[in-house]
Each structure stands twice: as structure tokens, then as C-alpha cells.
Structure 1
């Protein structure tokens, strides 16, 4: 009987942990080693993200920390923005100095653009009755690679590359710095996160389901092939699953854009695969998102959008989703990666067909 009761309590505990909501507050800073002379791309940017939604923004041109949510504008007093502006001006100077130091350490010259980024913040779990600290992140990257990160469990910095060892040793020798970093991640950051959640609770409850588009265009690398793309856009929260399938089987290798922000606070994701131009196979796109009671399956119509003159405009309408300058600068470098997946799904007919589950089978 004790074993049975233990099993029941264990099952209930598991359900509670599954139902707990995760919330996050992160700040992202990006500096470029030199101007790139592209619209909307600045040498230095900083932004705050609450549950993946931008709440404030700063760049080296305007040099002013500004609210990106109406509730931030209404709830935070003027001196919050004044102090925040001075803080980010100071960090801008620090980043400009240190990106040059790293370039010297890496033996890089200024012929190419180099990127130094810092992300720090915290995550919590809320089961409806208790809010608990989940994890804190304080990490630096250089040219898209991990450079240095803080381990709050042991209050020490971790250097994944040799070039970061000198910085790790220097910072670890300043005990008060590590104590402050740990305290900020586990206490101060959590306090701000809870305060912002309270201020913006109505806006944060808003969710948005994805729109799904499937189209093909000529492959840029092989004239005998097409590039088949599935675009899911306009969704929030940002966690999503998108699969391209052939005869209801997931394609093993696809090129992914990664989840990217749209200008309106929602997200987009593109998955692509190259196929032979004369291939007559049935392809579709399967999308799963927390806002959907059933997954979306949208079939490709077998047409090439730019194989005939005048069709390029149709592609532009579909994929021409404008990113804000703030987002472009924060992203810095977009990495495309190969994803491997494959399993059999459920056969459906029609242009857009929901399956009887919420996972792309």
C-alpha cells in the first residue's frame, strides 16, 4: 500500500511540475568592431527581453534607453530611464574597449567585422502558488562562439576556449564580483522579473498561432533543383516544431533559419530542403505550437514560384517579413544549420489539414 501511495504522490508531483510555467528576463548587448553601413544595424545595441518580448532598447546612435512596451512606458518612472541610459552609455564604452582587446588576443585585424555579445538574466518557474528560481545565465560570446560564462552553482567563471582563461583567472580573483553576479542572477533579477510580470500581465497573456506557407523556388546552387521552403510565422510563444515531409515521412536533412523575431513581437521559422525540379513526390509541412489544439499540415501545390517570369513578387510577399533594426543588431550573425529528423506521420489530404494530435508524427 505504501508503494502504491508513493506512486500516486510521485505521479501528482510530476503533473504539477509539468504544469509549472517558465518565465524569463534577459538582457542582450551586442557590439560590432566597426560600422557595417547597413540600415538598422548599429555598432552597439542593448535590449531587455521579458518572456522573449522586447521591453526596452538602446543603440549608439540615439543613445537613449527607451520603452518598447506601453506598460513599461506607463509604469516605470522617468528616473528609471535616465539611470538606464547612463548605465548603457557606460556599457557601450566598456564593450568598445573590450572588443578591441579580444581582437588583439585572437590576432584579428579590422578588415572583417567582429562581434562581441553579452547575455545575462534569469528564469523562474511558477506553479501557481510558488515562484522558484530556475537558473541564471551570464555569458559572453565572440563571433558567435562561446567565450566565457558564469557558473552560479560554484560562483566561478568557465572558460571554454584558451583565449578566455586570462579573463577567467582575473575575474575569479575578485571575490566580490562573483558574489555580486550570483546575487544579481538569483535575487535582483528575479525581483525585477516578478515586478515586470505584474506590470505587463495582460500583454504577456496574449498568444498567437502560426500562419503556415509552403512554396518552392529555383535552387541558387543547382539549376536542376528546387528549394522547397516551409515558413511558419506570426506565432507566440516562440517554441515551435516545423517539419517538411515527403510521403508523410520527415525529411532527414533540412536547412533551418532558426527562430527569428518579427517586428510585432511574434516569431518566424523557415525550414528548407532541396529537391529535383522534376520530382513528383507529395511534400507537406507539419507545424506544432502550444496555441494549436491540433497540428497544422499544409501541402505543397507542386508549383515553382519563380520558374516563370513575374513570379518572384509572390515570393517576396510571402517571405518579406521586416525585422526591426534592434532585432537585426541583436542577432548579429545568423547561423544556418542542418537538422536531422525522420519518422512516419499520418496521411492527410487537402491543402491544410489538422491532425488529431498536437505533435508532428
Structure 2
């Protein structure tokens, strides 16, 4: 079983793939948070950002700053799109509240779009999808050039958008040609950054002696990583809760996996260990379950190495922008977009 898992992990790591993703989030009823946030990321690393407060696009990586210095019009295009989408999304939230007779917020309208490119096979994949208050609403099928409506409330919008053939062709051209061209350009400028490999620091954290033990890794790159708990060198899942891979402010990542130790006998702790595996790395980081090395509340939580992305307001904005679908699967009503809403990219 261990050999099979290793082979699967290695196969995933050997495929050289890059992604360019845009996350757009419009909100209403969220105090102290911008009404509109947009973020561009390459391989999960934020490379550009804008919101309704700053009203312009800003590169967030040194190599991206070099690109826009060489091509200022590139940044102008992003700033124009940021402002235009802000107006469209705001109008749509107002329309949604009226159509659904919603009086209690907050309200969150989101879009994720972009493309993926394999530089070995040259395979290209584009995507464009919307959600509202935690549920999928409508997504573009580039193979059939039609919109997919997972909820009855989206059928009217689907029929309208399916009839707009010029817009569909524009979408197809953007996601199959323009987006991959830009992604290849970004990879050219940021290749050394995007192809680096950095192992994390790993710590065991516990709030109290009766709490779960969290094995936390921060500072690693790339984001293709796996973290697990083992017993007698065999992976197990009972009492284990795996966390998401989240970004740090410096372009690295963090993740954690929790173990419920309430059923672990004191004499059996030495049989457990936490394993961190990074794509492309020759060795794993193995941390034994040992009470002597666990950080608890006797140490201030501010001293825990949980990564700067979750420690400040800027970090919160980064998380909400890069992971724009942070509430995408929350149970909620579906919705119907305003007739004039969609900007294609």
C-alpha cells in the first residue's frame, strides 16, 4: 500500500503543469471588508491584486513587477478590468437581493476563471464558473460552448447566455489562446521562483492536554504536498482531520493535519508519527508524536509558527482573495444573475 501511494504521488509530481487563476469576490453586508476583491494567482501564488479601496491593480511578486515594468499596458488592462468588474458585480448583488427578496446578509458573489497549461504535452484547459452565497450557480463548458446550470434558478441565465454566440466565441478564444499565452509569459518571467523547491518547518501544536494534536507545516513550496498521520509506519484515517493548503504572504504555503489523541494510550504515543511529503523532494519530514516537543497554550499562540498569512488583516484579505471560494460549498439558495451582468474575462 505504501508503494502504491508513493507511485501515485510521484506521478502527480512529475507532470509539469502551470495554472493561471482569477478569483473575483463581491460582497455586501460585510463590515470592514472591501466591496470587491480580485486576485490573480500562478500555481497558487498570488501575483496580482486589486480591490474597491485601492481601485487599481498591483503586482505582488518581484518577477511580476519586472514584467509590468517591461509592459506597462499589461497592468493598465488589469486595472481597467478590475474597475469594470467591480461595477458589474455590485449591480448584480443588488439585483439578486431584489429578485430573491433577501433582506438579511451578508451576500457574496464570486467568480473563478482562468486556464491550465502542461508544458510537456501542451494540453490546455480553460474554466469559468460563478457562485453565490456558497453554492455553484453556472459554469462554462468550453467543449460544447454552452453554460451548465446546476440549479433551476440558473436556467433562464443559461438560455440567455447560450444564445449569445459572439460572447461564447470570445470566451473560447480567451481561455484557449489568450489566457495560456499570458500564463506562458508569466512562467518565463517567474520560472526560477515557480520551479523552486523549499521544505517547511514542522511543529506539533495542542491547545490543551485533551485537545487534538495538530501537525503543522509552514514555509513550503510548491503547493503540491501531502501530510498524513501514521501508526506503526502505516497511514491511517480514524480520528484524523486534514486541513487545506493555504498561502503565506511570501509565496510559500502552509497546511496541517490533526490527530485526535483521546483514544491513544499513553504507552502507544511512540507508535505514531506525522509525515510531510513535498512533490519532487527526495526525503519526507517525519515528526514523532512526542509530548516533549508539543507546543501548548503555555506558549503564547502568537509564537506558534502558523505563518503570516493568517496573522494580520492583509493576510485575511489574501486568503479571501486567493481562495475566493472559501464559502463556495455552504448551503444556501441559488440565484439568477441580472440580464446585463457578464464580463467574459
How large is the Cα RMSD of the aligned pairs?
Answer: 2.7
Name the structure 2 match of 1:288.
277
Q: Unpaired runs of 5+ in structure 2?
A: 1-9, 310-314, 330-345
SS in 1 for 2:286: strand
**Per-residue deviation, residues 227-253 of structure 1 (Å, max 9, x unmatched):** 111112111111111112344442324
TM-score (norm: length of structure 1): 0.77
Whether the 8 Å CA contact 1:30–1:117 is kept in 2: the answer is yes
Whether the 8 Å CA contact 2:216–2:306 is kept in 1: the answer is no
**Per-residue deviation, residues 112-155 of structure 1 (Å, max 9, x unmatched):** 3222111111111112xxx5233111111222322111000000
How much does 1:106 deviate? 4.4
SS in 2 for 1:83: helix
**Counterparts of 1:42 and 1:297 in 2: how far apart (Å)?**
41
The structure with higher relative contact order (CA 8 Å, sep 6+) is 2
| Pairing partner for 2:307 from 314, 318, 321 | 321
Whether the 8 Å CA contact 1:32–1:116 is kept in 2: the answer is yes
Q: 1:193 to 1:173 in 2, by over 3 A?
A: same
Whether the 8 Å CA contact 2:24–2:110 is kept in 1: the answer is yes
Name the structure 1 match of 2:57.
65
Name the structure 2 match of 1:207.
197
Rg: which structure is higher? 1
Whether the 8 Å CA contact 1:119–1:140 is kept in 2: the answer is yes
Q: Unpaired runs of 5+ in structure 1?
A: 1-14, 220-224, 338-361
Name the structure 1 match of 2:238.
252
| Pairing partner for 1:218 from 175, 192, 208 | 208
TM-score (norm: length of structure 2): 0.80
| Pairing partner for 2:219 from 210, 234, 237 | 234
**Counterparts of 1:333 and 1:56 in 2: how far apart (Å)?**
17
SS in 1 for 2:110: strand
Whether the 8 Å CA contact 1:46–1:58 is kept in 2: the answer is yes
**Per-residue deviation, residues 239-284 of structure 1 (Å, max 9, x unmatched):** 1111123444423243333111111111111211333288413232
**Counterparts of 1:50 and 1:237 in 2: how far apart (Å)?**
11
| Pairing partner for 1:268 from 248, 254, 261 | 254
Q: Does 1:52 align with 2:44?
A: yes
**Per-residue deviation, residues 78-120 of structure 1 (Å, max 9, x unmatched):** 33323321221010011111123334444432x3322211111
| Pairing partner for 2:123 from 113, 126, 133 | 133
Q: 1:108 to 1:62 in 2, by over 3 A?
A: same
Whether the 8 Å CA contact 2:295–2:304 is kept in 1: the answer is no
